[in-house]
Amino acid sequence: MSDPLYRKELLRLAADAHGAGRLVAPHATGEAFNPACGDRVSVQFTVRDGRIVQFAHETKACVLAQASASILGRALPNAKQSDVEKLRAAVSAMLESKSSPPAAPFGAYAAFEGAVEYQSRHRCVLLPIDAVLDAFGKEETK
């Protein structure tokens, strides 16, 4: 595929599906839904001292959301809510051509630079991050 939206590295991330599945006893669950396309992401994680210890996701969505969830599956352990909030801002700014991709451990979001031209697809990339923020916003993580 030569489409800049679907780079090989992005397809590989989606296929790897880091963190796909469910946790036995999550401390928090969150969900995000894109009514424009039907994409849905559910996340679960455990927390210790305000930091994510284990993370899992169920992603019924396009390749872009799957790849984004896979990045989180690999990079979210040890992150705290403020890290995820900064990540969302950084990815959003990157997609709006206002900044470079996020720094490590989230540098794999550089694979989405081809999505800059497709504003309708930005929500797909952000959906898994929004699901994590939804989970942090719920009472069980407080």
CATH for 126: 3.90.1010.10
Would the pLDDT of 79 be above 80?
yes
Q: Rounded CA gap, 61 and 63, in Å?
A: 7
Number of domains in the chain: 1
Which pLDDT tens digit goes with each residue over 87-125?
999 999 999 988 899 999 999 999 998 888 889 899 999
Q: Residue 86 belongs to what domain range?
A: 4-141
pLDDT reported for residue 1: 44
Classify burial at 40, counting beta carbons within 10 Å of its beta carbon; exposed 0-12, middle 13-18, buried 19 or more: middle
